[in-house]
């Protein structure tokens, strides 16, 4: 029996943004290890498709349409799930978008969407679910999607970077809050390096400034060429969450490199600088 089966089999998993990419990978893996998976996404069609795949493979899954940028929708989700199932063993606050553009060129709506989905979606997922978890009185797991971007900087991905730094600090504080309040709720920060998904696809950035569209294409091509396989990454993620790890990295060597760069930057109080290879790529 794997550690994921031991900890999670028979429990309920709720995953946001699970209609595609990493959320869908974690949802499929949760189904494989015997969880009932509540697949949620802003796209009803994509959520239903992933739930159908899980059921087709012999697992249990429900699909729900949820826009994480709206706190009331997360409250509705939590109420409905706890009413139906009575407990949630695993909550994955996964939904997130990439936004490309110079900070002063990104339209207001895109800034708002980025902050609301990537930061507030995670915060309000926790705010909506944790009181129910406490009431249920069972061991539970909350995992929030950070990024290697939580430890680095990247111009033209400023909006995204800001949100991932915020999610990382939120998860660190949340971990300590669970300890202080003596709650049986484990907190993990999931740090994907590069996992092959549709996050950099052109249509995901249709309301971004056109002056920086080339940057999205470069990131898209890098991910396509060197990104980790989705199923393999999802397996690593669920395994490490089941091991109660706070740091959950798909590619630990990438996480370490970014953290080392950050440590040096803070220690030296140096001006922000781009790695030479990144500079050459972006300026070419």
Ligand X SMILES: NC(=O)c1ccc[n+]([C@@H]2O[C@H](COP(=O)([O-])OP(=O)(O)OC[C@H]3O[C@@H](n4cnc5c(N)ncnc54)[C@H](O)[C@@H]3O)[C@@H](O)[C@H]2O)c1
Q: Could you give the residue numbers annotated as active site?
A: 160
Residue 240 within binding range of ligand X, rule CB under 6 A: no
Residue 95 within binding range of ligand X, rule CB under 6 A: yes
CB 8, CB 33: distance < 8 Å: yes
* Distance in Å, CB of 120 to ligand X, minimum: 10
Residue 114 within binding range of ligand X, rule CB under 6 A: no
CB 185, CB 140: distance < 8 Å: yes
The whole-angstrom separation of Cα 160 and Cα 155 is 10
- At residue 100's C-alpha, the angle toward residues 96 and 103, to 5°, is 110
Q: Which residues contact 18 (CB under 8 A, 6 or more apart)?
A: 24, 26, 27, 37, 39, 40, 41, 47, 50, 92, 94
* Distance in Å, CB of 69 to ligand X, minimum: 5
b/e sequence 13-50, b meaning 16+ C-beta within 10 Å: bbbbbbbbbbbbbbbbbbbbbebbbbbbbbeeebbbbb
Task: Say whether 209 sits in a helix, a strand or coil.
Answer: coil
Output 146 or 185, the one with its CB closest to ligand X: 146
* Distance in Å, CB of 58 to ligand X, minimum: 23
Q: Restricting to residues 164-203, name those near ligand X by CB under 6 A.
A: 192, 194-195, 197-199
Residue 254 within binding range of ligand X, rule CB under 6 A: no
Instruction: Please identify which residue in 38, 97, 161, 174 interacts with ligand X, judged by CB under 6 A.
Output: 97
The whole-angstrom separation of Cα 51 and Cα 39 is 6
Residue 68 within binding range of ligand X, rule CB under 6 A: yes
Residue 96 within binding range of ligand X, rule CB under 6 A: yes
Residue 145 within binding range of ligand X, rule CB under 6 A: yes
Instruction: Please identify which residue in 28, 29, 46, 215 interacts with ligand X, judged by CB under 6 A.
Output: 46
* Distance in Å, CB of 95 to ligand X, minimum: 4
The whole-angstrom separation of Cα 227 and Cα 14 is 25
Q: Which residues bind ligand X (CB under 6 A)?
A: 16-17, 19-23, 41-43, 46, 66-69, 94-97, 117, 145, 147, 192, 194-195, 197-199, 204
């Amino acid at each position: 029996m794997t550690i994921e089966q031991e900890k999670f089999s028979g429990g309920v998993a709720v995953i946001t943004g699970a209609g595609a990419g990493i959320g869908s990978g974690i949802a499929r893996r949760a189904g494989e290890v015997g969880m009932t998976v509540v697949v949620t996404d802003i796209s009803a069609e994509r959520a239903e498709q992933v739930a159908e795949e899980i059921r087709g493979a012999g697992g249990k899954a429900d699909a729900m349409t949820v826009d994480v940028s709206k706190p009331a929708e997360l409250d509705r989700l939590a109420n409905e799930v706890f009413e139906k199932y009575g407990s949630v063993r695993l909550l994955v606050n996964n939904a997130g978008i990439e936004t490309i553009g110079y900070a002063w060129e990104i339209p207001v709506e895109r800034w708002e969407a980025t902050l609301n989905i990537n930061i507030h979606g995670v915060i309000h997922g926790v705010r909506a679910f944790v009181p129910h978890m406490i009431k249920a009185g069972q061991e539970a797991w909350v995992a929030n999607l950070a990024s290697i971007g939580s430890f680095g900087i990247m111009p033209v991905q400023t909006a995204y970077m800001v949100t991932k730094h915020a999610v990382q600090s939120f998860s660190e504080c949340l971990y300590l809050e669970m300890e202080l309040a003596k709650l049986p709720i484990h907190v993990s920060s999931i740090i994907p390096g590069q996992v092959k998904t549709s996050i950099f696809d052109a249509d995901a950035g249709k309301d971004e400034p056109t002056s920086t569209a080339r940057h999205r294409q470069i990131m898209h091509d890098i991910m396509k060429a060197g990104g980790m396989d989705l199923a393999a990454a999802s397996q690593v993620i669920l395994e490490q969450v089941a091991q109660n790890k706070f740091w959950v990295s798909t590619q630990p060597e990438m996480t370490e490199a970014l953290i080392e760069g950050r440590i040096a930057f803070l220690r030296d109080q140096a001006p922000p600088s781009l790695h030479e290879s990144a500079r050459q790529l972006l300026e070419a």
